[in-house]
Structures are given as structure tokens and as C-alpha cells.
A and B are shown apart, each in its own frame.
Chain A
Amino acid sequence: MRDRTAQLIAAVVMVCCLVASAFMAPSVAASAGRNRLVYGDTVEEGDPPEVALGIAMGAFRGLFVNILWIRANDRKQEGRYYDAVDLAKTITRLQPRFPRVWAFHAWNLAYNISVATNTPEERWNWVSQGIRLLRDEGIPKNPNDLLVHKELGWIFLHKVQGFMDDANGYYKRQHARDWTIVLGPPPRRDADHIPTEARQKQLVEWLTNVMNAKETLADVIAGDPRAQELVDRLRDEAGIDLTLPFFKDDGSGPGEQLLTLIEEQRSLGRVLETTGLRAGRPDRNAKAVELINNMELRPAFRLLALHVRKRVLVDKYHMEPDRMIRYTEAYGPLDWRHPASHALYWAQRGIENALSRATAENKRDFDFLNTDRLVVQAVQELFRTGDLYFDILNPQFYMTMPSVDYIPVYGDILEVLSKREAEEWESKGVMTSKTRPYQLYSAGYENFLKDAVRYLYRRGDLNAAQTYFDKLITYAKLNTNDPFRPEKFNMPLKEWVVKEISEEERFAVPNVALQEVVGSLQGAYLNGLLMGNMKLFRDCYTYAAQVHAVFVKRQVFNVAANAEDAARMEIFARDFPRVAGQVLAVLIGNAGLPDGPAMYQRAPDDLKARTYVLMERMNLRAYFEQGGTSFDVFFPPVPGIEEYRAQLDADDKARAGNKPSLEHK
């Protein structure tokens, strides 16, 4: 009797539950669908076996994942990375919609395991594995999750673009190499494209070519019948079979091989253009090179190359060309060889996708604040280092210079973010029409504007410098907590710049002074000489001379404490013409062919003479003659060389004579 009662009660409870679930299920399912939380609960053809395993584990999956997580953490702390990596991989397979584990796993790879290794190559292997994990797997499985996007952006900005890791230079060069292969270097910025808008337009056109490239190999062949012959000959004669997948993780796919050869040929073409010398790479695939240079096949090759670029970009790097174009239009002429461009892309993509899911109720679940900051930091980084110089055949030469293109956009972004922050404060009652809390964004903007004004001034762009200087004084949202602020800015622009570099404490540090002088000279040579902008060259050169004179006047290098440093840093002599020659000689040595000779040939004769002698002293003669061509072909001698050589010898003797007195101190 008692059993029968229990059965009856159970049956009633069951019926109640069924009825309740019938009512609630549609709304739950609709909510899940709206928020794109639906993940297949059935195994479909093509799914990896672990998906079936995960579903088969049912409710135990969470428990199992917890155990694996604890174990993975323990193994990581014990230094058993082989197991930690494997376990984390298993977790991501069992619970692919668990963003935090993707972030954990990628962080482990990029930050923890990478620093456990001691060579830059192996470190890069781990960092790029962390990037690939998020970009190729984590984000496709969690397309609207902000965290995975933010983590990926952070790895690009902090790990690759930052300076904390000892191997950061290697990361930057490898990243630049990879993206030189995918898209090629951005088109040259000639005189018509100096204004930011014109440059943006130029890059948009360049990316549009990739976006509009043919979708499939069949389309390419349909577009140009000779493409079939090209594909066949590449396979049969050059061993590059484009019917196979174009790419591999290690960059050795047939499509990537082809793009690498194209970029190497492009680089060699620049050598020919600059020096008139026909160079070659005998160790490269000669048949493929022949096909690349076959003018009859050139139109088909162009179609094919664009198609390969598009497929590698979309299928391997999971980037959307239309979004890249949109961000180029919105933020500036993004150079995709620069890690900060990728940080910006992924952070902004995450924000946009997450905003589509965010509502007033769930907004707190999204970390918009930190992801917004990431976008701001990426733009700031692009201002500081956005002009990038890299050549695939001379990978050691990786040089970045500040880019004025990002100055306006920084302010525009801050307007949006500041407004968003203000709205939030107003809703909380923190901010009224009379009071306003200290804004971190504004503090950052003030420093940014100071740097921008100084940089524009050194480039000789006085109008723009004045505009931003005015903004620095009058910008309504700047923090007003410093009572001496009005005093600091109550002076003409020129006076402020001189005051800034001569009185600011940080410019009293030799290294900072060195950076300012060398940075200006590098700008003069790279943005001026190399790009053929002689006005820019003269302005930057003059500014460097002024700054150098200010420092010498302040006797930064005459104090006993710095004497040794100055002696050690040979590049920073008290004689400015020598400093200018040394910086150019070092730059030419690093740039190699063809950019080195290009800069030399556009320099004024007195600078050429000094640079020529200093290059000889740096043994660059032997370096440039490795290919069998005379040094003087690349660097034609000019009058004044003998005199400068004699002067240097005399200076060195004098310095050698002074040396004991330094040691006696």
C-alpha cells in the first residue's frame, strides 16, 4: 500500500515536471537561440570523435572537465608542460563553449611555456601556438565571446608587440615575415598618398583586390584559361601542387611556398630598381621563379596569387577582408605586418560581436572596459611604431617609426569611450553637471597629445603641432586636478617644445636623450630619404641637431657619472655631424640591399662623405661586397671623404690621449 502511494506521488511529480518543461522549453530555447548559445547536441558527420565522447558523457562531462582542469593546473605548476598542454587540449575538446579554458590554455602556451624555453625560435613556436589556438579554434567556436577576443588581442599587443619578453624582436620579425607572405608589403606610399585619407584609400584598394579575388581555383581557371597551364606547370615543373591544401601550420604549404617566392622576387626587384643590379637566390626553386617572371603568364599569375592570398587569409588566419577594410577606413592605414593592427582587429571584433548580445541586464558579464582599453592601447602603439620597415630577404632589419596617421583617431576613440564611461557614471550618480571624476582615458590622452605635438614639431609639421598643442590646452575633458597645469602650457609652441625637452626630467636621462636624437635622425632617413620626402628629411634632421645641442649645453654628457656611458655608446658623440653619420651608417648596415644604398644615394654630399668613412670603419665594405659587387657601386664616393677620414683619425688619437684621465677619476 505504501509502495503504491509512493508510485502515485512520483507519477504526479513527473507529470507536473513534464507540463512545466513543456511550458518553459520554448522560451529557454528561444533565449538560447537569441544569445547564440546553441551548440549541437547531436553528432554530425565530420565532427571529431571527442564531440561524440563529450555528448556521451552527459552530465558527467562537467565533473570530468573539473578534474582535468585541476590536474592541468597541477601539472603546469610542476613544470610538466607536456601533460598540461595535452590536458588543456582535451578540456577544450570536451567543452568547446567554455571561453575561460581557451584563454587559460592560450595564456599557458604563449606566456608560461614559452618562457620555459631558452631559444627565440622555440619561444615563438609556443607564442604562435597560443595565437593559433584562440584564432583558429577558440574564436570560431565562441564567435561572440568577448574574453577570447580580448585574450588574443592582448597576446598580440603585449606579448608580440611589447618589450617584456627577451625574444620580442624575434616575434616581431616572424610576425612581419608571415604577413609579408600572406598579403605582401603594403603598396609604397608615394607623394600622392602622404595625407592620411589618401593612404587609407590606397590601402583599401589594395585590400579590396584581395577581397574580390576568386573564391576557388576553378573560378581562377574560368577567369583566365592560362591559369590551368600555370597550375599544371607549377605542379609538374616546380613541385608546387596547388590542388593540395594551400597552407600548413608551419607555413610550408604549397600556397605559402608560392607566396614566399613571389615576395622574395619582389624584394629582388627592388634591389634591381635601386642599384641596377640583378640579384638572385640560387638556392630557391628556379622553375617556379621562371614561371613567376614569365610575362605571358603574368595576368594569370596575378589572379592566382590573389586567390591564394585570399584563401590563406580567410582559411588559415580566419580574418575577414571586408572587416579589415572597414577598420582601415575607421582607424587608419593599418599595416597588417604590425602586431598592434591585429590586436586592434581582434579586440574591436570582439566588442562588435559581444555588443550584439549585450543587453541592459547582462552587460556586466562582458568586460567591455578592458577590451576598449586594448583598442586604445593598440592605436597608441600604432602612433608610436606604426610605420614599419621590413624586407623578407633581410629579416634582421625590422624598424618601426611613429606614424602621424593615428593621432586624430586616438582622440575620436576616446570621445566614444569617454562618453560611454560618462553615461555609466551619470547613471550611478557619480558624475553631475558640476562634478566629474578623474578619467584615466583623459590622463592617457594628455600624455599622448604631448608626444604627438613634439613628434609633429620634429617632423616640421608646425600647423598640425599647433593644432594639437591648442587641443592640449583647451580639451574640455582633460583632468584638472593639477593646479600648475595652466602655467605649464601658457607659452608659444616652440618655447614649450624646447622647455619640454630641456626641462622635463626624463630627458635628462642619457638613454632618453639618445632616443630622441636617434629617433629623429632615423625618421629623417627612413621617412625622408628612403621615401623621397626631402622636406621631412630636413625638418627631422634640423630638430635632431637642435635637441643634440640642447643636451650638450645641459652638459648631460660632461658629468663624471655619465662619462663612461658616453664612451661606451660610441654612436652618441658630442659632435653632431658624426652622430648623424653614425646613425645613417648603422641604418644602412641593418637595411642592407636595396634600402641601404637608396638612403645613401639621396643624402646630401657632406653626410654621404661622413657615412662612407664610418661604414668603412664598421667593416660594411666587406659585407656589401659579399655578392661580388664593388662597395663603390652601391655607395659611390663623393668629395670630402679623404678629409673626413683624416679628421676622424685625428679625433680618435685625441680621444685615446684623453682616455687615461677618464680612468684616473
Chain B
Amino acid sequence: MKIRDTLSRLDRAQHSLWFKIIASVVVAALGVAAITAHVVVARASQSDYRVQVVEPRPPPPDANLTAEEKAAREAARSIAEANARQINDVLSAHADVTGVVVGVAVLTALAEAVVWLGLGLTSLAVLLVLACISAPLEYFGNQRAADVGKFIASIGVLTMAFSVLMELLKILYGGPWRVLAIARNVINEAVRLKVSLVFIILLIFGLASLPGLLDAGTPLRYRVQLFLSYGTGGTFWVIAVLVLFLSVGTVAFEQRDRVIWQTMTKPVAAWQYLLGKWLGVVGVAAVLLTVSASGVFLFTEYLSGQTAVGEVRPFVARNGETLTEDREALQTQVLSARLAVRPDLPAPTKDDLTAQVKDRIDRLRASDPIGFKETQQLVIDTYRDIADEMKTRFLSIEPNQGRTFVFRGLKTAKDENQLLHLRYKINVGGNDPRTVYRLTFFIPNQPAPFIREVPLNLTLTMPIPASAIDDDGLLKLTVGNADLERQVANPETLTFPPDGLEVFYKVGSYRLNFARVMVILWFKLAFLAMVAITAATFLSFAVASMVAFGAFIIAEGAGFIWESLNYYDAEVEGKLLIHRLIIRIIALPIAWAFRFYSEMKPTENLVDGRLVAWGQVATAFLLLGTTTAVLYGIGVAIFRQRELATYSGQ
């Protein structure tokens, strides 16, 4: 009895205003103190991680340097300074407090929300219980026990965050409008419906176990990429499946179980009903995405501060080196937002192209004077073929030959003294996997050419200093199909595929990129929710689920289908195959319709450190928003025609 009384008193206390105010102040003070302490420590140690420019040895006092020698010394010094700046830029990530500030801010906001929801003491008790379980496992057990401890703690924190955000969502949807009332019901339904609850639990368990699956022996950049890939991509898929089930279930089950009668007998219009359902699902998706995105973001920040390959401790390279390759690649190629530039390709004049097309068509006609038929399609195809051949020819280099490629628009990179990255891939014949070519790269303003071993049909990366860019922002890179050092030419002609030669430069931060990727993912979820709701307006749960899943799979794989259809002609060896024709007739418009969806690859871009610009976010909003609106219109139109009073289930 006493314990129950005490608990009741504590519950009353955590709901009281004075507790909330005091607890809020304490939480805020703790947050500020944590941030301040971290900033102070990070700033204090910043100088330990900086690289100094090594001054060239001064010439003897009596040395009479020529103008050329003086210029060479200046150039050497300038390159040394630029290199030191680039290294310091990478190492400055050690003192970058943004991640910790964001993390502490998120946790503080969460804690404040907990306090004002009247759950301050309850949450504190839950955290204490978790700490009591995890801490002994962490400090007194072996590695496996420590992993279990972290797993339990992660599950607890994620579940708490999910519960709090759901409560906040209910408050957000707390207005007196009918639409919001329906949305609130969906939120309650999300944790009540077994099918959605399963996925919520799956998401939380999956997210908590993901860090433990990373192999500590793998280079740090690969671990970060793997975590980002599965963290964002994997959680998106789980949430997407949940959204589909919840959307279909919330509409279909209400009709089947006749619960909808209670809603629709009130003055609720069809558009209000469907909009409410959609808002509810989208809200739940937002909560789940926020929880998982926060988890992924914070763990990525933590992971990126771990020891990389070749380091004795984070950001400190072994053997007196300034920077390890693993760290450099992580900071500049993964935790970054970069743009890619491709080389200028030959642009033939219209007259030249027309002349070549005419010449080819004439030759075709001459080879088959009777059967040849000049069609509009043939002319178009010939134009395209010749243009492609010119590009391929330009991107091909014969043995012992070289070619200069010009990359434009790199002025900003030069001004900011950025370290650029060349991403390249070569094809030779059938791309024998056991063959390795040795290429020579002549990069302007570098003391010697770079020789690289290049396996065929594999993408490789090479850093390029900003000093290689000229004052007009042009990078003129010459590639030789030979090893200049050993004086050995490669045996065959090599070709760069159209996407096989790109120069990357930084244009933004990884963190904002991450935020934009999450926004796009949320748009996608909102679109999927509407697909599922619309399907459920006229189909049973099972059929609507199948349709919604079908649409989801097709949308995600539309790029692959589109590409496959290019190789899947209806005509084979001059014969028209009916089954192929039917497949093409069905698949082509579907693949075309969903291409815009599949071409948004936010997760892949994030993992590769490619920029996802605000423009792309706006495009996603417009395209997905329009499609969603159309689907909504269709759904409302159908739903208004539905005879809901009819017994429709079991």
C-alpha cells in the first residue's frame, strides 16, 4: 500500500507545474553545460591536430638565386601551404562540435518534451533501470555482454523517443477539426494494430542491433557507409512496409468491421475522411522517420569519431604521418556533399552531323539497293548512333596514346583550395577480371605524372589537388594508356564509359544533405501512403495490400525495369514475338510513369557523399505532391461512390 501511495504522489508531482518548471530548467542547464564543456575541450585540443607548413630550407646567405629558382621555391611553398590547409580542413572535423551540439540539443528537446508531458520521473526511472542493466554488462562483462548492454539501452531509448514523439504528434493533431480527429484515431490505431506494431518493433530492434553488426576490422569509411546505407535505406523500407499496411488496414478494416459506419454517419465528408487517414499515417511515418534518422545521425557522428585504419587514436595517424587514407576518404568522400563534373565532350556542328548521317544512310542504301527503306525512325536512330559513337571515340584511348579531358566549373573549388577527387572506370574488350592496366595521369602543376594500377570495369578514385585547376576554373587532365615510368604500353584500347570519368568537389555539408535526404524519404512515404489509401477505398485488405505493394516494388525498381526493357525487344531475329510485345506494352508505361520516383536515389547519394540539393527536394515535392494529389482525387471520387452500408467483410 505504501509503495502505491508513494508512486501516486510521485506521479502527481511529475504532473505539477512547479516540477515541470524546475525540471525544465535543470534539463536545459545540463544541456548547455554539456555543450559548453564539449566546445571548450574540443577547442583546447584543436591545435594538437593541426599540421604546420614545413618551411623550405632557407638558402645559404651568399646564395644568388636566379629568378627561376626563386619562383620554384615560391611554388613549392605555395603547394606545401595548400596541402597543409587541405589536411587541416580534414583534421578540423575532430574539433567540429556540430554533431555533439545537435545530438545534445535533440536529447534536451526530447527531455523537455518528456517533462511537459508529465513523464519526467517515469522516464528517469526507466532510464535508471536501463542504466542498471546496461552499465554492468558494459563494464564488467566481455565484448558480447557489452554489445548486449548497448543493444538493450538503445532499444529503451528508441522506444522512449518513439512514445514521446507519438504523444507530441497527438498534441499537434489536437485541434477540433474532423480531419484531425480522424488522424488522431489513426495514430492510436498504429500502436493498436498488430500488423503495424510488428513493424514498429522490428524497426526499433533492427536499428538498435545495426551498430553491433558492423565489423570492427573494416576500414572506418566503409563502416560509416555501410551503416548509412542500411540505416537509412533499411529503415525506409521497414517504414514503407508499415505505411502500406497501416494505410490499407486503417481504411479496409474499418469497412470490413463496419466501424466506418460510426464515422460516416456523422457529418464527415469523404475528402475529410481520406485526408484524415492520410495525415495520420504520414504523421506516424514522420515520427518513425525522425526516431530512426536521429539514431542513424547520432551514431554516424559517433562512428566517424572512431579510430580509422592507420591511426593510433582518432585523427592521429601512426608513424608520424599527418593523415591516413581512410580518414581522408571518410571526411572528403563520405561525410560530404559533392557535385560531379564530367569532361567536355565533342560537340559536332549540325552540318557535320547531318553530313555523316547522310553518308551512312547512303552506304546502307548502296549495300542493299532493293530492300533498303529510308524511314524517319532510321534517320533518328542514325543521328543518335553517330553522336554516341563520337562520344565513345573521344572517351577511348589507344595503346601508348594519351588524351586530354577538360573539366569546367571548378573555380569555386580552386578558390576554396579543395581537395578534388577523380572517379574513373575503364572498359577494355570483355573486361577480363584478371587484367590490370597501368595508366599514366598527367595532372597540371604536379611534380610528376601519377601511375595507377586499374582493374577493368571497376570504379576507382584518385585525389587531385586544387592547384591543378587553372584560373578559369578548368582542369585539364591528360590520361595516357601506358605506364610512362616503366615505358610499357597497355595492349589494347581502353574506353571510359559515359559515367566513367567524373571530378567531384565539395559544395555543402553532409549534415544538411542528411536532412534533405530525410525530407525526400518522407515525401516518398507520404506518396506511398496515398497509393495504399486509394487502393483500400475500393479493394479488400488483401487485394489492396497486393496492389499497394506491387506499386511500391515497381516504383522502387522502375529504373531497373526501364533499363531492362531497352534490351528486351519485341522483335527477335526479324520475328515479332507476341508475348514480348504484350510485356512491353504493359511494362513500358508503368516503368516510364515511375521513373521519376526511382531516379530519386537519396540514400545512395548520401552514402556516396553526393549533393542532394534543395532543388531536388523541391522537384520531389512537386512530382510526388502532384501525384499524391491526383491519387487523392481519385480516392475521394471512388469513396464517394462506395456503398458503405453493404456488408463487405468475411
Interfacial residues of chain B within 597-620, with CB under 8 A of chain A in the complex: 607-608
- Residues on B with C-beta less than 8 A from A112 are 455, 458
Taken together as a complex, chains A and B put the C-alpha atoms of A79 and B457 apart, in Å, by: 9
A575 contacts the other chain (Cβ, under 8 Å)? no
Residue pair B455, A115 in contact (C-beta under 8 Å): yes
**Out of B217, B436, B458, which one reaches A76, CB within 8 Å?**
B458
Residue pair A82, B229 in contact (C-beta under 8 Å): yes
Interfacial residues of chain B within 526-548, with CB under 8 A of chain A in the complex: none
* B interface footprint on A255-267 (CB within 8 Å = 1, 0 otherwise): 0000000000000
Taken together as a complex, chains A and B put the C-alpha atoms of A116 and B457 apart, in Å, by: 12
A283 → chain B closest CB, angstroms: 13
Residue pair B459, A78 in contact (C-beta under 8 Å): yes
Stretch at the interface among B61-69, B219-227, B252-260, B335-343: B219-227
* A interface footprint on B199-228 (CB within 8 Å = 1, 0 otherwise): 000000000000000000111011101100
Taken together as a complex, chains A and B put the C-alpha atoms of A20 and B60 apart, in Å, by: 96
B478 contacts the other chain (Cβ, under 8 Å)? no
Residue pair B309, A125 in contact (C-beta under 8 Å): yes
- Count A-side interface residues using an 8 Å CB cutoff: 27
Residue pair B326, A122 in contact (C-beta under 8 Å): yes
B510 → chain A closest CB, angstroms: 16
B160 contacts the other chain (Cβ, under 8 Å)? no
B358 → chain A closest CB, angstroms: 38
Residue pair A115, B436 in contact (C-beta under 8 Å): yes
**Out of B221, B325, B425, B436, which one reaches A164, CB within 8 Å?**
B436
- Residues on B with C-beta less than 8 A from A122 are 219, 309-310, 324-326
Interfacial residues of chain A within 107-121, with CB under 8 A of chain B in the complex: 107, 111-112, 115-119, 121
- Residues on B with C-beta less than 8 A from A119 are 310, 324-325
Taken together as a complex, chains A and B put the C-alpha atoms of A111 and B219 apart, in Å, by: 17
- Residues on A with C-beta less than 8 A from B423 are 79
- Residues on B with C-beta less than 8 A from A80 are 225, 607-608
Tally of A-B Cβ pairs under 8 angstroms: 67
- Residues on A with C-beta less than 8 A from B238 are none
- Residues on B with C-beta less than 8 A from A86 are 226
B460 contacts the other chain (Cβ, under 8 Å)? yes
B127 contacts the other chain (Cβ, under 8 Å)? no
Residue pair B455, A111 in contact (C-beta under 8 Å): yes
Taken together as a complex, chains A and B put the C-alpha atoms of A387 and B310 apart, in Å, by: 31
A79-B423, A122-B219, A122-B325 given; A115·B226 CB < 8 A: no
* B interface footprint on A75-118 (CB within 8 Å = 1, 0 otherwise): 01111111101100000000000000000000100011001111
Residue pair A83, B458 in contact (C-beta under 8 Å): no
Residue pair A117, B458 in contact (C-beta under 8 Å): no
A111-B455, A117-B325, A118-B325 given; A79·B425 CB < 8 A: yes
Main secondary structure on B side of the interface with A:
mixed
Main secondary structure on A side of the interface with B:
helix
B87 → chain A closest CB, angstroms: 14
A546 → chain B closest CB, angstroms: 30
* B interface footprint on A115-158 (CB within 8 Å = 1, 0 otherwise): 11111011001000100000000000000000000000000000
B433 contacts the other chain (Cβ, under 8 Å)? yes
Residue pair A249, B217 in contact (C-beta under 8 Å): yes
Residue pair A82, B455 in contact (C-beta under 8 Å): no
A426 contacts the other chain (Cβ, under 8 Å)? no
Interfacial residues of chain B within 438-469, with CB under 8 A of chain A in the complex: 451, 453-455, 457-463
B601 → chain A closest CB, angstroms: 12
Count chain A CB atoms within 10 A of each CB in B221, B229, B458 and give the residue with the most.
Answer: B458
Closest to B433 in A: A107
- Residues on B with C-beta less than 8 A from A117 are 325
B463 → chain A closest CB, angstroms: 8
Taken together as a complex, chains A and B put the C-alpha atoms of A117 and B459 apart, in Å, by: 11
Closest to A121 in B: B310
Taken together as a complex, chains A and B put the C-alpha atoms of A652 and B106 apart, in Å, by: 73
B429 → chain A closest CB, angstroms: 16
Residue pair A77, B457 in contact (C-beta under 8 Å): yes
- Residues on B with C-beta less than 8 A from A76 are 458
- Residues on A with C-beta less than 8 A from B607 are 80
Residue pair A77, B458 in contact (C-beta under 8 Å): yes
**Out of A82, A166, A250, which one reaches B222, CB within 8 Å?**
A82
Taken together as a complex, chains A and B put the C-alpha atoms of A578 and B608 apart, in Å, by: 56
- Residues on B with C-beta less than 8 A from A82 are 218, 221-223, 225-226, 229
- Residues on A with C-beta less than 8 A from B458 are 76-77, 79, 112, 116
Taken together as a complex, chains A and B put the C-alpha atoms of A491 and B423 apart, in Å, by: 59
A165 contacts the other chain (Cβ, under 8 Å)? yes
Interfacial residues of chain A within 35-81, with CB under 8 A of chain B in the complex: 76-81
Taken together as a complex, chains A and B put the C-alpha atoms of A71 and B454 apart, in Å, by: 22
Closest to B499 in A: A78
Taken together as a complex, chains A and B put the C-alpha atoms of A44 and B463 apart, in Å, by: 49
Taken together as a complex, chains A and B put the C-alpha atoms of A250 and B309 apart, in Å, by: 11
- Residues on A with C-beta less than 8 A from B218 are 82, 85
A67 → chain B closest CB, angstroms: 12
- Residues on A with C-beta less than 8 A from B221 are 82
Residue pair B453, A165 in contact (C-beta under 8 Å): yes
Residue pair A116, B461 in contact (C-beta under 8 Å): yes
- Residues on B with C-beta less than 8 A from A121 are 309-310
Taken together as a complex, chains A and B put the C-alpha atoms of A165 and B436 apart, in Å, by: 10
Taken together as a complex, chains A and B put the C-alpha atoms of A79 and B425 apart, in Å, by: 9
Closest to B458 in A: A112
Taken together as a complex, chains A and B put the C-alpha atoms of A121 and B310 apart, in Å, by: 7
- Residues on A with C-beta less than 8 A from B223 are 82
Interfacial residues of chain B within 263-296, with CB under 8 A of chain A in the complex: none
* A interface footprint on B226-254 (CB within 8 Å = 1, 0 otherwise): 10010000000000000000000000000
Taken together as a complex, chains A and B put the C-alpha atoms of A80 and B607 apart, in Å, by: 9
Taken together as a complex, chains A and B put the C-alpha atoms of A664 and B32 apart, in Å, by: 75
Residue pair A115, B453 in contact (C-beta under 8 Å): yes
Residue pair B222, A85 in contact (C-beta under 8 Å): yes
Residue pair A77, B459 in contact (C-beta under 8 Å): yes
Interfacial residues of chain B within 308-361, with CB under 8 A of chain A in the complex: 309-310, 324-326
Residue pair B453, A164 in contact (C-beta under 8 Å): yes
- Residues on B with C-beta less than 8 A from A249 are 217
Count chain B CB atoms within 10 A of each CB in A79, A82, A122 and give the residue with the most.
Answer: A82
Taken together as a complex, chains A and B put the C-alpha atoms of A76 and B299 apart, in Å, by: 26
Taken together as a complex, chains A and B put the C-alpha atoms of A80 and B608 apart, in Å, by: 8
Interfacial residues of chain A within 231-289, with CB under 8 A of chain B in the complex: 249-250
Closest to A165 in B: B453
Taken together as a complex, chains A and B put the C-alpha atoms of A253 and B581 apart, in Å, by: 64
Closest to A82 in B: B222
Residue pair A83, B226 in contact (C-beta under 8 Å): yes
A85 → chain B closest CB, angstroms: 7
- Residues on B with C-beta less than 8 A from A250 are 217
A584 → chain B closest CB, angstroms: 28
B64 → chain A closest CB, angstroms: 20
- Residues on B with C-beta less than 8 A from A125 are 219, 309
Taken together as a complex, chains A and B put the C-alpha atoms of A81 and B223 apart, in Å, by: 11
Taken together as a complex, chains A and B put the C-alpha atoms of A116 and B460 apart, in Å, by: 5
Taken together as a complex, chains A and B put the C-alpha atoms of A122 and B317 apart, in Å, by: 13
- Residues on B with C-beta less than 8 A from A81 are 222
Taken together as a complex, chains A and B put the C-alpha atoms of A559 and B325 apart, in Å, by: 45
- Residues on B with C-beta less than 8 A from A129 are 217
- Residues on B with C-beta less than 8 A from A165 are 453
Residue pair B325, A115 in contact (C-beta under 8 Å): no
Interfacial residues of chain B within 399-452, with CB under 8 A of chain A in the complex: 423, 425, 433, 436, 451
* A interface footprint on B156-179 (CB within 8 Å = 1, 0 otherwise): 000000000000000000000000
The 23 sampled A-B contact pairs (Cβ below 8 Å) are A76-B458, A79-B458, A79-B461, A80-B225, A82-B221, A82-B226, A83-B225, A83-B226, A83-B229, A85-B218, A111-B455, A115-B453, A115-B454, A116-B458, A116-B460, A122-B219, A122-B324, A122-B325, A122-B326, A125-B309, A129-B217, A165-B453, A166-B453
A sample of 16 more A-B contacts (CB under 8 A), given A82-B218, A118-B462, is A77-B457, A79-B425, A79-B460, A80-B225, A82-B223, A82-B225, A83-B226, A85-B218, A111-B436, A115-B455, A119-B310, A125-B219, A165-B453, A166-B451, A166-B453, A249-B217
Those 4 A-B pairs whose CB atoms lie nearest each other, nearest first = A79-B459, A82-B222, A82-B225, A119-B325
